[in-house]
Structure 1
Amino acid sequence: MHLPASLRIVRVSQRLAALSLLVVVVMLLLNAASWLMPVVARLGGLRFGLSARIVSRLAPDLVALGEWQRLGAALLSSVPLLALALALLNLRALFQRYARGEYFSAAAADHFGNVGRAVLAWVVLDFLCEPLLSVWVTMGTPQGHRVMFSVGTGTVVALFLAACITVIAHILRQASDLEQEHRQFV
């Protein structure tokens, strides 16, 4: 049985809103767990972005790090993820609006724009926190082997997507404003 398109959009939007929240919670918990519980870190694929890069490149023995050092690493690596969580929470709010049929509202455009700005913040914070985290986890190594910077294709793609999302959100906002003006004339 085929559902009407509007009902499918409502259901998919509700599911994506719930999934967005789940991704936020799981992402933050797994990131912290990968630093605080070395057994989780050994599972490899359960680390996110910055944590994965630092652990794989520097390969510190997480058990050898002090608890305070692992806690600091968990906090530092979570800073960029908080910006990504903000992007996902705005995406969740956007899907909730879509589930209510608010496809071209100014608020929906604002949520979409916030997604773009939060993704941009995530990329910038990831870049800034990487050298801090690499110094933090390698405090005992010689000075020339501590600081790390990396800009990969994923970073460039994320910046491009953030810019595109921000521009599209601005266009949607203007379309919403024009639609409101049109309603006032009619």
Structure 2
Amino acid sequence: MKTTLTASTLSGPEVQRLNSAFAWVCALLSVALPLAVLYQLMTTPTEGLLLRAGASLSAVQVAMLDVELWQRLLAVGLGMVPVCCASYGLVCAMRCFSGFSQAEYFSLRTVRYLRGFAAGIFASVVAGFFVSMAISVVLTLGAPAGQRALAVGLGSNELITLLFAGMVWQIAAVMAKAVALAEENAQFV
């Protein structure tokens, strides 16, 4: 069975409700994720933050750590950067889905929000890579010489997320060209 897409099927009530639901979920997550990460960063012991950053220290090294308040606060602040980038992306996705729910499929504004989502997710992964390194250095600054750590790690999840963000960016670029063509064709009618 072949289905043809028309303007009425793309903007039907079910599609509009689904787009509205996605917009609400994105809005909720854009606020809840930073709050949850802040809570986790504030309540996780220093050893847990180091493990999360990719630095695995022995029990002796952990016992020798002398982490001051400013180091801990800097680590928490740094840890918030990737989730804030992701939150920006989610706000853009919310606006994109809000446009979709109002049958605004091919507009430069919608494309701009879709690109903002891709940029936010891309920036979140890149920031996470550098933030992990910075947190490991900041939290081990007070350790004796030879006991400091610099953790570097990039896994398949990060690479797939970067690929996904790049694909969404490219889809938005194609949509921008489609919008430009549609506007050009509308001038001839």
**Contact 1:16–1:95 (CA<8 Å) still a contact in 2?**
yes
Q: Distance in 1 between matches of 2:175 and 2:42?
A: 43
Post-superposition offset of 1:142? 3.7
Structure whose alpha-carbon radius of gyration is higher: 2
Out of 172, 175, 180, the residue aligned to residue 177 of structure 1 is 180
Post-superposition offset of 1:146? 1.3
Q: What SS does the aligned partner of 1:110 have?
A: helix
Q: What SS does the aligned partner of 2:153 have?
A: coil
1:54 is matched with which residue? 53
Post-superposition offset of 1:136? 1.6
Post-superposition offset of 1:69? 3.3
Post-superposition offset of 1:55? 7.5
In structure 2, the CA distance between the partners of 1:114 and 1:13, relative to structure 1 (3 Å rule), is same
1:167 is matched with which residue? 170
Q: Which structure 1 segments of 5+ residues have no match? A: 45-49
User: Across the two proteins, how many residue pairs are aligned to each other?
Assistant: 174
Superposition CA RMSD, Å: 2.8
Q: Distance in 2 between matches of 1:156 and 1:124?
A: 10
Q: Which structure 2 segments of 5+ residues have no match? A: 1-8
Q: Distance in 2 between matches of 1:125 and 1:116?
A: 14
Post-superposition offset of 1:139? 2.6
State the one-letter code of the partner of 2:39.
A
In structure 2, the CA distance between the partners of 1:20 and 1:143, relative to structure 1 (3 Å rule), is farther
In structure 2, the CA distance between the partners of 1:158 and 1:133, relative to structure 1 (3 Å rule), is same
> Which of the pair has the greater relative contact order for Cα pairs under 8 Å at 6+ separation?
2
2:28 is matched with which residue? 22
2:105 is matched with which residue? 103
Out of 23, 26, 43, the residue aligned to residue 37 of structure 1 is 43
State the one-letter code of the partner of 1:127.
F
**Contact 1:31–1:51 (CA<8 Å) still a contact in 2?**
no
Out of 74, 84, 87, the residue aligned to residue 85 of structure 1 is 87
**Contact 2:122–2:161 (CA<8 Å) still a contact in 1?**
yes
2:4 is matched with which residue? none
Q: Distance in 1 between matches of 2:43 and 2:153?
A: 26
* TM-score, normalised via structure 1 length: 0.81
**Contact 1:51–1:77 (CA<8 Å) still a contact in 2?**
no
Q: What SS does the aligned partner of 1:33 have?
A: helix
In structure 2, the CA distance between the partners of 1:133 and 1:102, relative to structure 1 (3 Å rule), is same
Q: What SS does the aligned partner of 1:128 have?
A: helix
Q: Distance in 2 between matches of 1:19 and 1:90?
A: 12
1:12 is matched with which residue? 18
* TM-score, normalised via structure 2 length: 0.80
Q: Distance in 2 between matches of 1:159 and 1:143?
A: 36
